Chain A
């Protein structure tokens, strides 16, 4: 067992976890923040993407203990009163069907827009599609997901 402390969505949290606890298990089962999903559990589908110290990572492929001391943001933490521009864009463009992949899509979308903006690069459609390589939507709703991220990129 390890005692871990981190900041999740701006709030300090702590937990006593078994050493093999994955970050996504800590988020979902200890903190009961169930917006972060587990799809494949093999770091391919991206449903579990959260931000750790400002970077998108797959929380099924990081130990909770490795995130000790980190700043973590989950889908529950992106809205600030109103919906985040990325959430609004998914709503506006019908960027989801069943919604299972959506939390990961939104966390990856925010990460890619922030990275491209800080590097001064243009996030065009081809770039969005390349950047989404690690997020799988089994409703095959990619066209509207790409449109959603493109809209949010113009608003963020």
Chain B
């Protein structure tokens, strides 16, 4: 694997100063994407700043109708948190289907959001809930944060510290897993709030995670699968590959949205 200088950071402040002093440093969260990317020579950072020992970046707390999850909280910790299973089971279910059990023991929500893989699961939940991504310098609304495939509003050296998701009245995540990679071929997260419904789609678009606003309008009027049955999803700009072309993914977006609404109840 490509070599890089290793640094262990015990606090966010440590990590920020280590990053600032590195020539081309990157954060190492759970490493479940970064290390394979370095092995494939798709990334060649000069320095790795390991934040897995930064306790202040871990933990799950529920208050004022929202859940705040520390950036270094693992998928397994989110999936198995009993308070969260009661308050927001759709999020636990999503976390429990990322990768496989060993990957879930290392992979983190902050790492997933910083990477913004176009087929990742967490971005769908974060965008559908209108969450707030907190960094060491500011708070960023999910609507402003995701800026296209592998692209986010994060600035050089900025570190995600936590994400706060408003807990919906009802929600569900439908994931149509690509059978080999288990990434979402298409994933749809539907979240219903007192003031309306939000729908976020992952895996489908060449621009990464995005909202399906037509469905949001229809579902805010009538929260039933039939409300989206007659909507058209354009295949323009959708991913076409050997696993499915754009028209196939467009159909999945509609079908999965309907299933998510039915499952959310």
A interface residues, Cβ below 8 angstroms from B: 2, 18-20, 22, 41-43, 46, 49, 55-58, 61-63, 65-66, 68, 108, 111-112, 115, 119, 131, 133-135
Contacts and interface: CB of A to CB of B under 8 A. Distances in A.
Given A20-B3, A61-B106, A55 B76 contact: yes
Given A22-B1, A42-B36, A56 B6 contact: no
B213 interface: no
Contact of A57 (B28, B50, B102): B102
B59 interface: no
Interface size class of B (residues with CB under 8 A): 20 to 34
Contacts of A61: 31-32, 35-36, 103, 106
A112 B8 CA distance: 30
Nearest to B52: A66
Contact of A111 (B8, B32, B101, B182): B101
Q: Which of B6, B31, B35 has the most chain A CB within a 10 Å cutoff?
A: B6
A66 B48 CA distance: 11
B36 A56 contact: no
Contact of B31 (A2, A62, A119, A131): A62
Contact of A68 (B8, B80, B100, B182): B8
A112 B103 CA distance: 13
B94 to A, nearest CB: 15
A141 B112 CA distance: 33
B130 to A, nearest CB: 31
Contacts of A22: 1, 35
A2 B6 contact: yes
Contact of A19 (B6, B39, B99, B103): B6
B99 to A, nearest CB: 7
A131 B32 contact: no
Contacts of A111: 101-102
B6 A63 contact: yes
Contacts of A46: 100, 102
A125 B3 CA distance: 42
